[in-house]
Chain A
Amino acid sequence: MPKLRQQRIRNFCIIAHIDHGKSTLADRLLEMTGTLSEREMDAQVLDTMELERERGITIKAKAVRLVYKYEDGEEYILNLIDTPGHVDFTYEVSRSLAACEGALLVVDASQGIQAQTLANLYLAIEHNLEIIPVINKIDLPGARPDWVKKQIEEVIGLDAEDAPLISAKNGIGIEAVLRSIIERIPPPAGSDEAPLRALIFDSFYDNYRGVIPYIRVKEGTIKPGDRIMIMSNGKEFEVTDVGVFRPFLTPVEELRAGDVGYIAAGIKSVRDTRVGDTITYAGKPASEALPGYKNLQPMVYCGIYPAEGAKYEDLREALEKLQLNDASLVFEPETSVALGFGFRCGFLGLLHMEIVQERLEREYGLDLVTTAPSVIYRVMKSNGEMVEVSNPTNLPPPVEMEYIEEPRVNVQIISPNEYVGAIMELCQERRGEYKHMEYIESTRVLITYEMPLNEIIYDFFDALKSRTRGYASFDYEYIGYKKADLVKLDILLNGEVVDALSTIVHREKAYAKGRAIAQKLKEVIPRQLFEIPIQAAIGNKIIARETVKALRKDVLAKCYGGDVTRKKKLLEKQKEGKKRMRQIGSVEVPQEAFMAVLKIN
Chain B
Amino acid sequence: MRDIGLYIHFPFCLRKCNYCDFFSYQGMEEWISPYVDALCKELREWKEKLVDYRVKTIYIGGGTPTLVPAELTARVLDLCRIIFYVKDDAEITIEANPGTISREKLSVLKSSGINRLSMGLQAWQERHLKTLGRLHRSEDFIRSVDSARDAGIDNINADVMFGLPGQTIDEWLETLYRVCMLGMEHISMYSLKVEEGTLFYTWLRQGKINLPTQEEDRLMYYKGRNFLHQHGLEQYEISNFAVSGRECIHNLIYWNNEEYIGCGSGAHSYFNKERFSNHRDIKSYVEAVMTGTSRIEYRELVDETNERFETIMLGLRLVRGIDKEGFVRRFGRDIYHYYGDAVEKLIGKELLVDDGRYIRLTNRGMDVQNSVLLEFLD
Contact = CB atoms under 8 A, between A and B. Distances in A.
Contact of A551 (B214, B255, B378): B214
Interface in A544-560: 551-560
Given A562-B254, A562-B262, A567-B313, A551 B371 contact: yes
Interface stretch (B27-35, B76-84, B361-369): B361-369
A553 B214 contact: yes
A561 B7 contact: yes
A549 to B, nearest CB: 8
Interface in A514-570: 527, 529, 551-565, 567-568, 570
Interface string A553-590: 11111111111110110111011001000000000000
A529 B371 contact: yes
Q: Which of A551, A563, A572 has the most chain B CB within a 10 Å cutoff?
A: A563
Nearest to B310: A564
A562 B260 contact: yes
Nearest to B191: A557
Nearest to B276: A565
A558 B193 contact: yes
Nearest to B317: A559
A564 B275 CA distance: 8
Contact of B367 (A554, A560, A574): A554
Contacts of A575: 374, 377-378
A552 B218 contact: yes
A526 to B, nearest CB: 11
A527 B371 CA distance: 11
A566 to B, nearest CB: 9
B291 interface: no
Given A557-B193, A559-B317, A563-B277, A552 B367 contact: yes
Contact of A556 (B193, B214, B218, B221): B193
Interface string A31-74: 00000000000000000000000000000000000000000000
Contacts of B317: 559
A560 B20 CA distance: 11
B191 A553 contact: yes
Nearest to B61: A561
Interface string B342-374: 000000010100000000000000111111011
Contacts of B238: 555, 557
A565 B269 CA distance: 10
Contacts of B269: 562
Nearest to B7: A562
A555 B193 CA distance: 10
A561 B370 CA distance: 19
A553 B300 contact: no
B268 A564 contact: yes
B22 interface: yes
Contacts of B251: 559
Interface string B307-342: 001100110010000000000000000000000000
Contact of B369 (A554, A558, A562, A563): A554
A558 B240 CA distance: 10
Contact of B214 (A552, A558, A571): A552
A161 to B, nearest CB: 59
A562 B270 CA distance: 8
B215 A552 contact: yes
Contacts of A574: 370, 374
Contacts of A555: 191, 238, 366-370
Contacts of B239: 557-558
A568 B310 contact: yes
Contacts of B270: 562, 564
Contact of B368 (A553, A559, A563, A572): A553
A553 B314 contact: no
B121 to A, nearest CB: 16
A529 B7 contact: no
A553 B374 contact: no
Contacts of B275: 564-565
Contacts of B367: 552-555
Contacts of A561: 7, 9, 22, 61, 262, 267-268
A529 B371 CA distance: 8
B278 to A, nearest CB: 12
B217 interface: yes
B298 interface: yes
Given A571-B313, A571-B377, A558 B190 contact: yes
Nearest to A551: B368
Contacts of A557: 190-193, 238-239
B368 A529 contact: yes
Contact of B370 (A558, A563, A565, A571): A571
Contacts of B192: 557
A570 B369 CA distance: 13
A563 B277 CA distance: 8
Q: Which of A555, A556, A578 has the most chain B CB within a 10 Å cutoff?
A: A555
Given A529-B349, A555-B370, A565 B300 contact: yes
Contacts of B268: 561-565
Q: Which of B254, B275, B371 has the most chain A CB within a 10 Å cutoff?
A: B371
A570 to B, nearest CB: 8
A382 to B, nearest CB: 47
B55 to A, nearest CB: 15
Nearest to B161: A557
B69 to A, nearest CB: 22
The 7 closest A-B pairs by CB, nearest first: A552-B214, A557-B190, A555-B369, A554-B368, A562-B268, A553-B214, A554-B370
Interface of B: 7, 9, 22, 61, 190-193, 214-215, 217-218, 221, 238-239, 251, 254-255, 260, 262, 267-270, 275, 277, 298, 300, 306, 309-310, 313-314, 317, 349, 351, 366-371, 373-374, 377-378
Given A558-B190, A578-B374, 18 more contacts: A554-B369, A554-B370, A554-B371, A555-B191, A555-B369, A557-B191, A561-B22, A562-B267, A563-B268, A564-B268, A564-B275, A564-B313, A568-B306, A568-B309, A568-B310, A568-B313, A571-B313, A571-B377
27 contacts: A529-B349, A552-B217, A552-B218, A552-B367, A552-B368, A553-B218, A553-B368, A554-B371, A555-B369, A556-B193, A556-B369, A556-B370, A557-B192, A557-B239, A559-B255, A562-B260, A562-B262, A562-B268, A562-B269, A563-B277, A564-B313, A571-B370, A571-B373, A571-B374, A571-B377, A572-B377, A578-B374
Interface of A: 527, 529, 551-565, 567-568, 570-572, 574-575, 578
